[in-house]
Chains A and B, each alone.
Chain A
Amino acid sequence: AQSVTQLGSHVSVSEGALVLLRCNYSSSVPPYLFWYVQYPNQGLQLLLKYTSAATLVKGINGFEAEFKKSETSFHLTKPSAHMSDAAEYFCAVSDQPGNQFYFGTGTSLTVIP
């Protein structure tokens, strides 16, 4: 079975500061891991994905995430926050292509000018 825990339902950072959103997963098989972003009243947009290739994954809009098997983590980072980064972020895990995703509870990111 798979599950995802996102620590911190709300994160606030100043514009230009480092963004760190935490995600820990549980999986009985090598996982596929994803970060999605959701703006108000919209669907989810894929930021990046881990598929057992490089452990450091670069995504869109300057985001990246590092897969750490020993820590069962897949934290999302961005060196410098922009006002447009304010949104809801979801971490998800799946065990194979075409199977359901298990989502974390989401982290709301606020960027302070």
Chain B
Amino acid sequence: DGGITQSPKYLFRKEGQNVTLSCEQNLNHDAMYWYRQDPGQGLRLIYYSQIVNDFQKGDIAEGYSVSREKKESFPLTVTSAQKNPTAFYLCASTERSSYNEQFFGPGTRLTVL
């Protein structure tokens, strides 16, 4: 079955440590996205990528980094520079055609201890 996988589902990190969240899709989608979700704030865009080896900052990119070495994969690194990293993180992908919706992964809950 085609879809998006995110791992791990729950992640705990000590302050000062970098952590990488995985996102893999087998939908053959060109575009991939990372969102952060906090209570009452909806989905905020962190980074997005339209093609391999290219990506753009979203609204809240500070303290995060990404890579897009393969079409299927778009990992997100939460660095120690991110002041408030505890949140729910969603990965999404879509076709280039504007008609198409975003497909979402199941999310990763990151907690900083």
Co-complex (A, B): no
Spell out B's residues near A (CB within 8 Å). Answer: none
